[in-house]
Structure 1
Amino acid sequence: MTTDVLLALLNSRPLVGGEERDALGDPARGARWAREHGGDGSRAELALLRRTRDALRDVVRGASPPAVLEPLLEGVHQVPELTAEGLVWNVRTPPHARLAVDAVLGWAEAEERFPGRLRPCANDECRLFLLDRSRANRARWCSMAVCGNRAKARRHYARSR
């Protein structure tokens, strides 16, 4: 599912112990990350993935309009193919752009299927994003065990003072 690629890309630059860990920052580590997610790990792909991650982050946070994603879709075509199962639409893209395009398509899918549910973690000290698939649409943290627990502990401590 393309939303998996989207979340993996958005969450590829977390804060761990207050220190940023960029999975795409180092060429070797970035190439490994790209290959693990179906890419080729080329320098061109990594540069485009970093640009895509930053643009998607700004769009999800509301700092930029969705139109900033348009240049990332240059050279992308949807091509019909008749199969035994019927008509199938295939996305054709330059090879180095496949993962970045999948992430943008994941964002579009999330906006269509889960409007308003792709959001940043409510923990101000966290940079991760979540896609709330809960029925009540009340998920606030990327991880209840980590960020949610910390927020609840902070509130408890503030009340008990």
Structure 2
Amino acid sequence: MIDERALLEALNSTPVVDGRPQDLWAGDAEPRRWAQEHGGPGDAPAIEWLRTARDVLQAATRGPVPEAELQRILAGARRLPEADASGLRWRLHVPPERTLAVELVLAWYDVLERRPGRLRPCGNDECRLFLLDRSRAGTARWCSMKTCGNRLKARRHQQRTRRDPAS
């Protein structure tokens, strides 16, 4: 099962490092590790579906939901209840190569339902990371106060002092 932490790892796999966009999932090693860590296959088709799901969810978190792409990922997926002595579980039925991609989409929707408006892009336009705002007030703006928050606050302070040297 993919939880909030795993969802953020996937969404944040395209950071900006030293001013240059990176894709940590460009090669196969990192998405294979991620897939296997979350109980999925690390083969090439599964990795391609994971990259596709990540890209679609990043776009959907930044703006309008690309419905056609989401439908392609979710095509034919269904959850069926299964009961045994330990209780009731919902089992996902989907082709094996799309299992983690579908679970990633389901985790994204779960976060949107349980924490509406809390999953968003970092407020720093130069950053490509996402945050899940867990603050009580729901006003978190940056992926990290240490990096993006301090950097933007320092930049604004410098701009104010340049405009108004008396302050």
> Normalising by structure 1, what TM-score?
0.90
Sort the Cα spacing of 1:152 and 1:33 in 2 relative to 1 into closer, same or farther, 3 A: same
Q: Measure, in 2, the Cα distance between the counterparts of 1:95 and 1:48.
A: 11
CA deviation map 1:51-110 (0-9, x unaligned): 111111111111434554122112322121113343221222222222211210111111
Alignment check: 8 A CA contact 1:117 1:133 kept: yes
Alignment check: 8 A CA contact 1:5 1:102 kept: no
In structure 1, the gaps of 5 or more residues are none
Alignment check: 8 A CA contact 2:49 2:101 kept: yes
Alignment check: 8 A CA contact 2:56 2:66 kept: no
1:157 matched residue in structure 2:
158
SS at structure 1 position matched to 2:109: helix
SS at structure 2 position matched to 1:91: strand
The two structures, once aligned, show a CA RMSD in angstroms of 1.8
Alignment check: 8 A CA contact 1:3 1:109 kept: no
Structure 1 window deviating more from structure 2 (73-82 vs 86-95): it is: 86-95
Structure 1 window deviating more from structure 2 (135-144 vs 23-32): it is: 23-32
SS at structure 2 position matched to 1:6: helix
Percent identical across equivalent pairs? Answer: 52
**Correspondence 1:90 to 2:81:** no
Deviation at 1:126, TM superposition (A): 0.5
Instruction: Figure out how many residues of one structure are paired with residues of the other and give that number.
Output: 161
Where do 4+ consecutive residues of structure 1 move more than 4 Å?
A: none
Q: Measure, in 2, the Cα distance between the counterparts of 1:52 and 1:58.
A: 10
Sort the Cα spacing of 1:154 and 1:30 in 2 relative to 1 into closer, same or farther, 3 A: same
Deviation at 1:136, TM superposition (A): 0.2
2:131 matched residue in structure 1:
130
Alignment check: 8 A CA contact 1:61 1:120 kept: yes
Task: Report the structure number with the largest CA radius of gyration.
Answer: 2
In structure 2, the gaps of 5 or more residues are 163-167
Alignment check: 8 A CA contact 1:123 1:141 kept: yes
Q: Measure, in 1, the Cα distance between the counterparts of 2:67 and 2:120.
A: 15
